[in-house]
Structure 1
Amino acid sequence: MTPETGKPVLEVENLQTEFATAKGALRAVDGVSFSLSPGEIIGLVGESGSGKSVTGFSLLGLIDAPGRIAGGSVKLNGTELVGMSPQELRKRRGKEIAMIFQDPIATLNPLLTIGQQMEMALAAHETLSRRAAAEKSAEALARVGIPSARERLKSYPHEFSGGMRQRAAIAIALLHRPAVVVADEPTTALDVSIQAQIIHEMKALARDYGVAMIWISHDLAVVSALASRILVMYAGRLVEQGPSAQVLRDPRHPYTRGLIDSLPSATVPGQMLTQIPGSMPSLGALPPGCAFAPRCSYASDACGAKPDMVQAGRRGWRCVHPLGTEHKERAAS
């Protein structure tokens, strides 16, 4: 499943996902493009409603009616997934591309032991004896830091703490050593110490086994500790992307700057937290041109047209007034 060295394991080109409503089709993902290399972790960030999770579900073909993938391409190790039959997609989910959901309580069956659920996941793609399945399941639990893994296979989800349930969900997703894992805010409900442990383990899994990951989050602090590259999403479109250190140190899009300034660590103790004015627009009432313009202090008449993605080396941004040199000139005038 691991592609040749240097060849992307996942290639997404102009992905478009829309939902049919009484007022017409609403595009939740609008022209998203990126690639992912083996062992690479990228962060997909943005506010709630920006289209992050829908992008993740689209990659696995998990969009149910009235939603549909309206266009674009998703290639996994060179194989096109868009347009593939549900039966063929099921053969690849879990084995070649897997997803870790935000709430393990919603994904783990409370009536089955952890071991039974892991054996069922294995049986979907492999033919193993009960002993071999139990051995592989115990190894997966141990790999994500669950102590006494063999004994824990007999436990039910309610007998695990929140952090351990999430580790079990991660272990299930990694059972078949998939080429790509999409993690949809898997540490949001966990305390900071457990977050740090899981982030450390996920980085080790990517490094040791070459698993490529897309980490979906609204938390830039978590993403900065995990991802080598950041993709910033707003109203269904990517508005900035590039190496994490560069994006966080020198953002080009005003929305990215607003997200960074909103972090508690960016505020002096005792002062009010900085916030981006306004809220994410409804997909049914997007402004013409740049969707962020109504909330942007640098907006001008030029923002009335949809900006294209500007590429400069490994950096990219979708803004006619990018921060940097032009921002400094505008501030000085």
Structure 2
Amino acid sequence: MSDPVLSVQNLTTHFFTRAGVVKAVDGVSFDLARGEIMGLVGESGSGKTVTGFSLLGLVDAPGQIVDGSVRLNGTDLLTLPASDLRARRGREISMIFQDPIATLNPMLTIGQQMLLAVEAHERLSKRAATARAAELLTQVGIPSAEMRLRAYPHEFSGGMRQRVAIAIALLHRPAVIVADEPTTALDVSIQAQILLQMRDLAAETGTAMIWISHDLAVVSSLASKLAVMYAGRIVEQGPTADLLRDPRHPYTAGLIASLPAMTTPGLPLTQIPGTTPSLLSLPVGCPFAPRCDRSSEECQRDPEMTDQGDRGWRCFHPVTRPAEVPA
């Protein structure tokens, strides 16, 4: 097997606040191959977005990456000087943010913003840069691309703005793209179109992707493997089909059971009892134990990741009964 394009080991990010230390990301590890799409899923507050920001070195004070490594094509990004990391960000690893209207400059045309992104990393003539920008807008499904380069962000719909954000992320054909819930605010039909285009783009360009989402049903249709986060940790990971068919961690099983497709019409939706713990005061041992019907005294200890080939989970009492794959 070839070396992974991205290898993350023991990534740990803390926020040092007056109330205490928030362990937002606590020892996250995974590998990503060229052209592979990994879904990073979990409830709000599980650490997904902070993990994405940490990969690109975008964590601001009082946050701090306190441990771990992020190796992109063999180079540990966390050891690079700020100037070198800035040079790689956007060119070798880029990010699609959740709200494109907050990241696009309303005072500049789409073309001006895309040309600035090109100029930040490459020396191209204006004609060549404009041609590349138009080509990528067409590639992500925006018609009349050359004309739309002269438009401003407010002249686009929400779905079209998100396509622009995707095109900007693809400008330099990065090795890895981190997508932070980019389709959450879009309607179902536009969401499905963008998911299909992203899957095709990954296959065509060889770009690997990390798709962050709280919606397990959406990401399972896109990603070839899943990593489930809870309380700052990956509690289970593996190939998408295997993980959905046979979840081992009780939290993963609870997420699958709570999908509307898994509930008989007319009956209440299944819920995971309790609430996510505060990252300021995590319980002793397994952080999911207070919500888990399988917990025991053994769960007062911190479970290690069980590694079985391409599957892994953190649990002393893994689920053994198979679960149906959601439609």
In the superposition, the TM-score normalised over structure 2's length comes to 0.97
Name the amino acid aligned to 2:292: C
Deviations 1:172-224 (A, max 9, x none): 00000000000000000001111110011001111011000000001111111
Taking the aligned partners of 1:234 and 1:58, their CA distance within structure 2 comes to 17
Partner of 1:331: none
Partner of 2:290: 294
Partner of 2:23: 27
Taking the aligned partners of 1:107 and 1:193, their CA distance within structure 2 comes to 23
Partner of 1:38: 34
Question: Cα RMSD between the aligned structures?
Answer: 1.2
Taking the aligned partners of 1:287 and 1:25, their CA distance within structure 2 comes to 14
The correspondence for 1:149, drawn from 145, 160, 164, is 145
Offset, 1:130: 1.5
Name the amino acid aligned to 1:322: P
SS of residue in 2 equivalent to 1:132: helix
Taking the aligned partners of 1:282 and 1:87, their CA distance within structure 2 comes to 35
Any residues of structure 2 matched to 1:101-180 within 5 Å, and which?
Answer: 101-180=97-176
Q: Is 1:235 aligned to residue 250 of structure 2?
A: no
SS of residue in 2 equivalent to 1:15: strand
In the superposition, the TM-score normalised over structure 1's length comes to 0.95
Taking the aligned partners of 1:34 and 1:158, their CA distance within structure 2 comes to 38
Taking the aligned partners of 1:136 and 1:283, their CA distance within structure 2 comes to 44
Percent pairwise identity: 68
Partner of 1:9: 5
Alignment gaps of 5+ in structure 1 = 329-333
Taking the aligned partners of 1:74 and 1:52, their CA distance within structure 2 comes to 16
Q: Is 1:195 aligned to residue 191 of structure 2?
A: yes
Name the amino acid aligned to 1:140: L
Deviations 1:149-193 (A, max 9, x none): 111001111110110000000000000000000000000000111
SS of residue in 2 equivalent to 1:226: coil
Offset, 1:23: 3.3
Partner of 1:278: 274
Aligned length, in residue pairs: 323
Alignment gaps of 5+ in structure 2 = none
Name the amino acid aligned to 1:225: S
Taking the aligned partners of 2:47 and 2:18, their CA distance within structure 1 comes to 20
Name the amino acid aligned to 1:107: T
Deviations 1:100-128 (A, max 9, x none): 00000111111111100000000000111
Offset, 1:25: 2.2
Taking the aligned partners of 1:167 and 1:6, their CA distance within structure 2 comes to 31
Q: Is 1:224 aligned to residue 253 of structure 2?
A: no
Runs of 4+ in structure 1 over 4 Å off: none
Taking the aligned partners of 2:186 and 2:20, their CA distance within structure 1 comes to 38
